Structure 1
Amino acid sequence: MAYDRDLAERIRAALSTQPVVREVSMFGGLSFMVNEKMTIGANTSGDLMVRCDPARVDALVDETPAQWAQMSGRTMSKGWLVVAADEVAEDADLDFWVEVALEFNAKVTGGKPAKKATAKKATAKKATAKKATAKSGRRSTGE
């Protein structure tokens, strides 16, 4: 996976105060999930991808250097913006976009950290179902 490692490190530092952050390979770069929601990312060209409130997109595009994000030549849904690498060269500029992304993240998550137990619960349910099937001695015959 190729992405701008310097930008990713700066994003990592900017998100260091968030309680639940996970990094995921996504959109051909490195995306940062906050509270299990995609929030911001570094792409291959050093540009910043920002998930923001769809209600703010028009104003942000008009008033800042951000553009609607595109994937494979198609405009993504409202709420996805891309900011060119040279527009986030200064920490203050990056911090602005991190804040925009975190504001929307708080709105969609209620500001509450996601529970990490979801995957564990699903695994536990599968194990319980297997045990119940094994105890009953039944097997599916495919009929």
Structure 2
Amino acid sequence: MAYDEGLAALLREDLVDKHGIAERRMFGGLAFLLHGHMVCGVHPGGAMFRVGKPNEAAARAVDGAGPMMFSGRAMGGMIDVTDAAMADDARRRNWLAMALSHARSLPPK
């Protein structure tokens, strides 16, 4: 099952004016990175944001978000987002702002 290209297009549009963004195919999906640090991505069945552990509770409190599971375990600092939630511009941009802030806080690669 491939990722939803429509979700990828939404993220591309949101990130078009951000300097240092790159796309990379990862884990059967597509990730968006800021200066080499993962920000968000799409995967078969939805999308994800790397919001960082300090923002995880706030990000998950928004309707449509849940834990990002990988190999049966929750990945700390990451959230999984439903397709329906991704269609809501305000929610998507809120999660994206958290993820960009987290990526900018990380040391350069």
Per the normalisation by structure 2, the TM-score is 0.87
User: Per the alignment, in what secondary structure is the counterpart of residue 102 of structure 1?
Assistant: helix
Is the CA contact (8 Å cut-off) linking 1:22 and 1:33 kept in structure 2? Answer: yes
Structure 2 unaligned segments of length 5 or more: list them.
none
Measured in 2, the distance between the counterparts of 1:48 and 1:106 equals: 20
Give the gaps of 5 or more residues in structure 1: 115-143
Alpha-carbon distance in structure 2 between the residues aligned to 1:9 and 1:30: 11
Counterpart-to-counterpart distance in 1, 2:94 and 2:57? 17
Structure 1 vs Structure 2: percent identity of aligned residues?
Answer: 31
Aligned residues: 108
Across the aligned residues of Structure 1 and Structure 2, the Cα RMSD in angstroms comes to 1.8
Structure 2 residue corresponding to 1:84, chosen from 82, 90, 94: 82
Contact 1:35 1:109 survives alignment (8 Å): no
Query: If you compute each CA radius of gyration, which structure gives the higher value, 1 or 2?
Result: 1
The answer (yes or no) to whether the contact 2:55–2:98 under 8 Å persists in 1 is: no
What SS does the corresponding residue of 2:3 show, helix, strand or coil?
coil
Choose which of 71, 91, 94 in structure 2 pairs with 1:93.
91
Higher helix fraction: Structure 1 or Structure 2? 1
Please identify which structure carries the higher strand content.
2
